[in-house]
Amino acid sequence: MPFEVTATRKRPQTFEELAGQSFVSATLISSLEQGRIAHAYLFSGPRGCGKTSTARILAKALNCEQGPTAHPCGKCDSCISITNGSSLDVIEIDGASNTSVDNIRQIKDEVLFPPNIGRYKIYIIDEVHMLSMSAFNALLKTIEEPPPYIAFIFATTEPHKVPATIKSRCQQFNFRLISVDIIFELLKQVALETGIEAEEEALLWIAREAAGSIRDAYTLFDQIASFSGTKITAQNIRETLGLVGLDSLNALFRAIIKGNSKEAFVILDEILMQGVSPEQLLTDAVNYCRSVLLIMNDIKKEDLIIAPRAAFEPIVIESLSKSQVEYSIALLLDAYRHLKESIEPRHEVELAIAKLCHLSSYISPHELFDMLHNIQRTFKTNEMHALSLNENKSSELLINKTTNNESSDRQILLSELRKKIIGKLRNQNLFLASALDKSAEWQSKHNGLIIPVSNRVEMDILLRFEALIMETAAQVLGKPCAIEVRYLSGQESSENSENCNLRPQLQPKTKSNEPRSQTSVPHDCETIQGEIDQKKVANERPPKKSNPSLQENMEIIGEKEVSPDSLEHTFETQQTGRSDNDEKIASTNQIQFSDNLEQNKPKESEAHVIDVVCKVFKGAVIGTKLSYEPSNPEKSSFAFNLSRNTSYSSELSNQSEEFTDIQDEEI
């Protein structure tokens, strides 16, 4: 017996066998049972989902010797001839190759003759949308008032190309994509029938790959069966079709999350050397990220995710945020779109992977917006208001209320605070929580916390999420809390001067108005301050950071302590800094306070907001403007621009409308 392809062999012969189209079959069965037979039907839907099969079943139902019936016997001459395609009364026409008006005229002439044997003369026109306009027009009259023995069944994958005049004369049925579950079950059945042992994972892969088309699934199954013999395994499919295994993708993304581009490139090379095409790699990587995103969204439906959750590297799911995964998908899809025009597809993949290695420092515009909103909110609180307006009414933090001889109490309080903050953050950002966990003993400073770290990785993470730490600390304390991340005393010199360089501790130069605060400023603040040579700072390039786009934008922004008695001097320091850095700033055009701000000494609150915004955006701010009216806070507003010359900030500029809105929003 000659080999018959599965798609043909498994073609459904009754409405009941029609997979995944229960609405269509139920409606047709019901209308046949009630004898309501239309002159024209239009079946639309994606390829390989059963349109032509349904048309043939309908033809059999109409012409079966025991019919018209909803359950054609499949045994009578009429049924057999329709199944074989030899029936004289069922005429199948390919719309794609019979597009002209002449072809339709021929049909018009033929319909005048009654059927040869059967009850009905049935025209099945596939890909009907390919007919020319004049052909459609020629058809119009015929399908409106055909002889009673005529039925038209049109099938199309593109119903929108069928003129409305035709559609309105047809009973329309929309066929759906078949779900992975159903295809999977059908494949299992085929494997059983053909005596092929198939792994579930392999069949699930085929089902997913078929993308809702049962015909595609059968064709793929045949292809795989032909090289697999009697046993189909996922491993076999991967090797033969050059697919990327989940293990390789896990390894690749582990390297990406670590930001280890060297390791990522090595893995990438290994994958490509196995014969995987760049296209396939990108496709599989997108599917991988998509599955991770679905898992993050707590979607458990198995047919949507490429593998069970346990098969995914836990660190990928735990350490990335949803927006980072979304960004990865966008980036990979973008690389895929560029493949065709690229001089070398491999370069596109490498570029995408290189960009992904900065994934951990990606912040979405939405997150930035949230950060900003939090600043606004913090600023709005009474405490902050008091801080800005009334130096004498300094609201000290709980931890600062203790005096020197209560240092052990303070440590207990600090360790409590540390525990609470880390505990809170653990739910939101595991990476950050573990970085905080690794930090050395926290210290209190005049108006907040000092978090000492021992290496650059931790420094980077903490700096990046500084706003989040501040927010969490404020939640725990019930008061605003400044955060300062610095290297451990021993590390400062060994780890090079980058920390000081990057975030010089610009302390107020003049004496504080408030004697009490002098005693509460921890001694190490002063030590660091002494160590910094401001001129040196001004002349040095900013250090390398994990995110190069940010780094290019990095400008020296003094991290000023936000405390009531430093506010006034903060701006003075900025101005001094500006004159020191004048040349540099002019050339890089990165921080420009408006003239207005320079001429008129800003209000303390203004300097404070500029300070906070600069901190959050770490140098990406190219201009800020604030108008704050202490007498009427409701009328205050502030605005700022972000640099547009890097990919990082072009993301931001997409959201510029949103940011502009803030201008109008009242603080």
Structure tokens at 126: 């596939």
Q: Which is nearer to Zn ion, 81 or 156 (CB)?
A: 81
Structure tokens at 54: 């349904």
- The Cα–Cα gap between 529 and 507 comes to 7
Task: Give the phi and the psi of residue 42 in degrees, each rounded to 5.
Answer: -125, 115
Q: Which is nearer to Zn ion, 76 or 177 (CB)?
A: 76
Q: Which is nearer to Zn ion, 72 or 508 (CB)?
A: 72
Q: Which is nearer to Zn ion, 73 or 662 (CB)?
A: 73
State the minimum distance, in angstroms, from the CB of residue 64 to Zn ion: 3
Q: Which is nearer to Zn ion, 73 or 196 (CB)?
A: 73
Q: Which is nearer to Zn ion, 79 or 131 (CB)?
A: 79
- Residue with structure tokens 């295994």? 245
State the minimum distance, in angstroms, from the CB of residue 216 to Zn ion: 30
Question: What is the chain's Cα-based Rg?
Answer: 35
State the minimum distance, in angstroms, from the CB of residue 83 to Zn ion: 10
Q: Are strands 637-642 and 621-627 parallel, antiparallel or unpaired?
A: antiparallel
422 closest CA partner among 374, 430, 480: 430
- Residue with structure tokens 């199948």? 92
Q: Which is nearer to Zn ion, 18 or 237 (CB)?
A: 18
State the minimum distance, in angstroms, from the CB of residue 72 to Zn ion: 5
State the minimum distance, in angstroms, from the CB of residue 80 to Zn ion: 8
- The Cα–Cα gap between 271 and 249 comes to 9
Contacts of residue 308, Cβ cutoff 8 Å, sequence gap at least 6: 302
Q: Which is nearer to Zn ion, 122 or 252 (CB)?
A: 122
CB atoms within 10 A of CB 599: 8
Binding site for Zn ion (CB under 5 A): 64, 72-73, 76, 79
State the minimum distance, in angstroms, from the CB of residue 6 to Zn ion: 25
Q: Which is nearer to Zn ion, 63 or 287 (CB)?
A: 63
C-alpha distances (whole Å) from 667 to each of 160, 373, 495 are 51, 10, 41
- The Cα–Cα gap between 55 and 73 comes to 16
438 closest CA partner among 461, 425, 454: 454
Q: In what order do the strands lie in the sheet with 482-487?
A: 443-445, 448-453, 482-487
- The Cα–Cα gap between 256 and 198 comes to 34
State the minimum distance, in angstroms, from the CB of residue 36 to Zn ion: 20
State the minimum distance, in angstroms, from the CB of residue 119 to Zn ion: 11
State the minimum distance, in angstroms, from the CB of residue 21 to Zn ion: 22
Structure tokens at 594: 């408006």
Q: Which is nearer to Zn ion, 20 or 72 (CB)?
A: 72
- The Cα–Cα gap between 444 and 416 comes to 13
Q: Which is nearer to Zn ion, 38 or 76 (CB)?
A: 76
Query: Which amino acid, one-letter code, is at 143?
Result: I
State the minimum distance, in angstroms, from the CB of residue 71 to Zn ion: 9
Contacts 24+ apart (CB under 8 A), 426-434: 428/468, 428/472, 429/321, 429/465, 429/468, 430/318, 430/319, 431/319, 431/360, 431/461, 432/461, 432/462, 432/465, 432/468, 432/469
- Residue with structure tokens 């047919």? 303
Q: Which is nearer to Zn ion, 68 or 163 (CB)?
A: 68
State the minimum distance, in angstroms, from the CB of residue 160 to Zn ion: 36
State the minimum distance, in angstroms, from the CB of residue 79 to Zn ion: 3
Q: Which is nearer to Zn ion, 38 or 73 (CB)?
A: 73
131 closest CA partner among 98, 167, 155: 98
Mind giving me the DSSP string for 347-392? Answer: HHHHHHHHHHTTGGG---HHHHHHHHHHHHHHHHSHHHHHHHH-ST
State the minimum distance, in angstroms, from the CB of residue 122 to Zn ion: 14
